[in-house]
């Protein structure tokens, strides 16, 4: 599931053969997302459920679930999906929803993680893959990877370095998860 530029989707797609999983489709809430263009260019099935076309989050999530159920994935990887998912939706896919977050959770859940990490004086920062629960970025942690924050580093520079970590971590974890190698299910 994607909303944005698609760099994590690209990493997941490129590393799928070596990690032993198959991307059967891409679902987006943003019809103009660069991730959608990438998915189409790669011949992946694309489903659009534009959240702006629904009066309520519940109605959006019912339509989103219908598209996911039609694709019938074993695992759902949120890769820059920029919507908070409700309790019923999360419950429907409990144990099968993964997310990548640009911090070493539980530190800095939510948005603007790099600026917040720098402002706090954090010496270490990184990325976390976790199961999605009702709590934003609060689900069980599956794996993390980190780096040392450089003195005087800008949020943009830190974000770029963490994104490199994400692109290595997420495909690796998704492969293990898809093969049942994690005990967090």
| Tens digits of pLDDT across the chain (185 residues) | 999 999 999 999 999 999 999 999 999 999 999 999 999 999 999 999 999 999 999 999 999 999 999 999 999 999 999 999 999 999 999 999 999 999 999 999 999 999 999 999 999 999 999 999 999 999 999 999 999 999 999 999 999 999 999 999 999 999 998 888 875 54
Q: Is residue 58 included in any domain, yes or no? A: yes
> What integer pLDDT is reported at residue 178 of this predicted model?
85
Q: Is residue 137 included in any domain, yes or no? A: yes
Q: Is residue 2 included in any domain, yes or no? A: no
Q: Is residue 17 included in any domain, yes or no? A: yes
Q: Is residue 61 included in any domain, yes or no? A: yes
What is the domain count for the chain? 1
Range of the domain at 115: 7-178
> What integer pLDDT is reported at residue 185 of this predicted model?
47
Which residues are CB-contacts of 161 (< 8 A; sequence separation ≥ 6)? Answer: 147
**Which of 13, 101, 125, 130 is the catalytic position?**
101
Whether 114 is catalytic is no
Q: Is residue 32 included in any domain, yes or no? A: yes
> What integer pLDDT is reported at residue 181 of this predicted model?
86
CATH number for the domain spanning 24: value is 3.40.50.170
Closest by CA to 28, choosing from 74, 56, 63, is 63
Q: Is residue 148 included in any domain, yes or no? A: yes
Which residues are CB-contacts of 63 (< 8 A; sequence separation ≥ 6)? Answer: 49, 54
> What integer pLDDT is reported at residue 14 of this predicted model?
98
> What integer pLDDT is reported at residue 168 of this predicted model?
98
> What integer pLDDT is reported at residue 184 of this predicted model?
52
Closest by CA to 143, choosing from 168, 161, 111, is 168
Q: Is residue 1 included in any domain, yes or no? A: no
């Amino acid at each position: 599931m994607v909303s944005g530029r698609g760099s994590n989707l690209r990493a997941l797609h490129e590393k799928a053969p070596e990690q032993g999983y198959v991307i059967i489709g891409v679902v987006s809430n943003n019809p103009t997302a660069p991730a959608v263009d990438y998915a189409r260019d790669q011949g992946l099935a694309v489903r659009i459920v534009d959240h702006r076309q629904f009066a309520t989050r519940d109605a959006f999530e019912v339509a989103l679930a219908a598209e996911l159920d039609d694709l019938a994935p074993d695992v759902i990887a949120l890769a820059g999906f920029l919507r908070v998912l409700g309790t019923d939706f999360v419950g429907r896919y409990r144990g099968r929803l993964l997310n990548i977050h640009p911090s070493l959770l539980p530190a800095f859940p939510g948005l603007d993680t790099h600026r917040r990490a720098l402002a706090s004086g954090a010496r270490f920062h990184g990325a976390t893959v976790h199961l999605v629960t009702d709590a934003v970025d609060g689900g069980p942690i599956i794996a993390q990877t980190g780096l040392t924050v450089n003195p005087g580093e800008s949020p943009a520079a830190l974000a770029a370095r963490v994104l490199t970590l994400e692109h290595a971590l997420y495909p690796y974890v998704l492969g293990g998860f898809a093969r049942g190698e994690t005990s967090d299910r």
